[in-house]
Structure 1
Amino acid sequence: MSLPVHGQGEAGAERSRRVDAVRNQGKVLDAAERLFARDGVERVTMQAVAKEAGVGVGTLYRGFGNKAGLAMALLGERERQFQELMISGPPPLGPGAEPTDRLTAFVAGYAELVADQLELVLLSQTAAPGARFRSGAHALWRTHCRHLLSLAGAPSPELRADALLAALSGEMIAHWLTEQDRNLAEITDALAGMARALSTK
């Protein structure tokens, strides 16, 4: 008869808790995606997401903080896919094209991503003052744009990268699509022209 190893029970319990946490996170994200698609982000409450996912509201708040945190988590997978294409995908978005061509491809691709997930982007970017600047994704977009502008020989690449990303914010894209009734093709074409202009010396 073997004796139990001291601490083994605690370690097993901790692993079980981690597995439960991962499973609950998946259930919450699936539930939020369904409810957001059906009812719109603004009308969905954290309580409704918790009920749909079959978890406690406290679990939801501990895992995501608030609805903006939930929105950012949902956006994460789409952003990761876009990042992979940007970093190692085929040109012109990925490596192998001229810096200006890569920048214009980034602008077009990111504008489409924002438009496709507009409610989630707006919630994640406007939940608190400066929320847009504090996300890891924004830091990556800024580094990428600044790098391409530097390679193109543009002066003040940091400021130009910030100007370009300001035009790609959720609020700006929403304003053009809804308030000015512009279509996405018109917006992306104009932003691509802006990217080309910002790449010049």
Structure 2
Amino acid sequence: MAPKERADAARNRRAILDATAALFAEHGAEAVTMDRVAAAAGVGKGTIFHRFGSRAGLLHEMVAESAVTLMAAVADGPPPLGPGAPAADRLLAFFDAMARLVIDNLALMEVYRSVPPHPRTEEFHLFWRDHITALLREARPDLDAETVGRLLMDGLAGQTVPDMVRAGSAERLLAGVDQHVRAVLRAP
């Protein structure tokens, strides 16, 4: 079990993440420098380096917050995203939630992809892969669940998502993701 975070450390962490999000939203990725974040958060630059290691570590934490929330919902949340619903319903709910996460964090995700991978990135990818594979195996035992699951997930990582969001077609994208997953779930 991880040690309990001190109250002042938790406040600093929250202030740093909130300042980073505000700078990013207002001024774009270029504004997210350690100096600017420290000034906006009211902490020393060393506090940020100590806590996050680097700008890449800070960006990872920004992405990780949404990912951890989604992971908790998948593992312990209410159905259909969480346990207790049929596999097909859970898969549809997961891809809707993941597509919304990507859409909501699009600019951050694009910048994050341009920095060296964070050590915990693989942990998230493995969680998603295992979750999708298990649901596909249950819903469609006739498929190569791992390969099909990876192909479904890769659809959210490509250029289509940013292109459609920038064109004002986020709702169309969400409908397309739903249709794509439903097509995979249909038995031959």
Distance 1:137 1:83 in 2: 8
Q: Is the 8 A contact 2:92 2:181 kept in 1?
A: yes
Distance in 1 separating the partners of 2:89 and 2:49: 42
TM-score (norm 1): 0.76
Q: Which runs of 5+ in 2 are unaligned?
A: none
Kindly state the Cα deviation for residue 182 of structure 1 after the two structures are TM-superposed: 5.2
Q: Does 1:101 align with 2:115?
A: no
5+ residue gaps, structure 1:
1-14
* Matches of 1:58 and 1:170, distance apart in 2: 36
SS at match of 2:43: coil
Contact 2:96 2:178 in 1 (8 A): yes
8 Å contact kept, 2:23–2:31: no
Q: Distance in 1 between matches of 2:96 and 2:8?
A: 39
Distance 1:64 1:195 in 2: 36
Q: Distance in 2 between matches of 1:54 and 1:147?
A: 45
Match of residue 120 from structure 1: 108
Aligned partners of 1:35 and 1:49 also within 8 Å: yes
Report what 2:152 is aligned to: 164
Counterparts of 1:1-201 in structure 2, within 5 Å, are 21-128=9-116, 134-152=121-139, 153-169=141-157, 171-178=159-166, 181=167, 183-199=169-185, 200=187
**Is the Cα–Cα contact under 8 Å of residues 146 and 157 in structure 1 kept in the other structure?**
yes
1:29-88: CA deviation from partner (whole Å, max 9, x where unpaired): 122122222222343322210121233323322322333321221233322332232223
The percentage of counterpart residues that share the same residue type is 34
What is the TM-score when the length of structure 2 is the normalising length? 0.81
Q: What is the root-mean-square deviation of aligned Cα atoms in Å?
A: 2.8
Q: Per the alignment, in what secondary structure is the counterpart of residue 96 of structure 1?
A: coil
Question: Distance between the aligned counterparts of 1:48 and 1:161, measured in 2?
Answer: 40
